[in-house]
Chain A
């Protein structure tokens, strides 16, 4: 069985603070893929990143960075110098040996001015 846990239900920060969203996953597959999606208040789902299980390099894209650690089954997402526009619900997801994505329940991030 595959499972994704996002233990933080809601996070509130003040603009310019750094914030890390946690994602812990469970899978028996040796090959798998991890994803992060953003859902702003307007409701659409926006793909942010995909990482495969063979690539543990961290990735940085502007103010966003992702830390993938197989040893702890975690794929955490950090936003540096947060902005109000970062306010959204963020979902972590896992895909193993099938075509199905399993999503975590999401973390609602509120960035206050």
Chain B
């Protein structure tokens, strides 16, 4: 158990509404990541953070923003949700700096109608 929680676990929202997903960790890890998982695409990195207020883009960052105002929380925001953002979203952490395995949260299933 990597001490990662995600909220909400399930959400249905309408096109055009803003949505914020939260990732919370209890072990003071520096690196945190947001991925989306879609059939036929595996997991794709959206954004990641290497410290408080330090974030960078992944391969599918368009339409998403992130914030990290404290070590334990990493927020993913969809400013104006679209149906193409219907997906399962996973948060992950690494336990050490640099190249270490990532441990994942339980996921959030988001449906945009």
A interface, CB within 8 angstroms of B: 33, 35, 43-45, 47, 50, 52, 91, 95, 99-106
Contact = CB atoms under 8 A, between A and B. Distances in A.
Contact of A45 (B45, B94, B104): B104
A54 B44 CA distance: 26
Given A45-B90, A105-B40, A100 B99 contact: no
Q: Chain B at the A interface: mostly helix, strand, loop or mixed? A: strand
Given A99-B50, A99-B98, A100-B58, A91 B43 contact: yes
Interface in B57-89: 58, 88
B107 A43 contact: yes
A45 B4 CA distance: 12
A104 B43 CA distance: 8
Given A43-B107, A44-B106, A45-B90, A103 B101 contact: no
Tell me the dominant secondary structure on chain A's binding face. strand
B40 A101 contact: no
Interface of B: 31, 33, 40-45, 48, 50, 58, 88, 90, 92, 94, 98-104, 106-107
Given A43-B88, A99-B98, 10 more contacts: A43-B106, A44-B107, A45-B43, A47-B102, A91-B43, A99-B50, A99-B99, A100-B58, A101-B33, A101-B102
Contact of B99 (A33, A45, A47): A33
Given A43-B106, A43-B107, A45-B104, A95 B99 contact: yes
B107 A50 contact: no
Contacts of B100: 50
A100 B45 contact: yes
A104 B99 contact: no
19 contacts: A43-B88, A43-B106, A43-B107, A44-B104, A45-B43, A45-B104, A52-B99, A99-B31, A99-B48, A99-B98, A99-B99, A100-B48, A101-B43, A101-B45, A101-B102, A102-B45, A103-B43, A105-B41, A105-B42
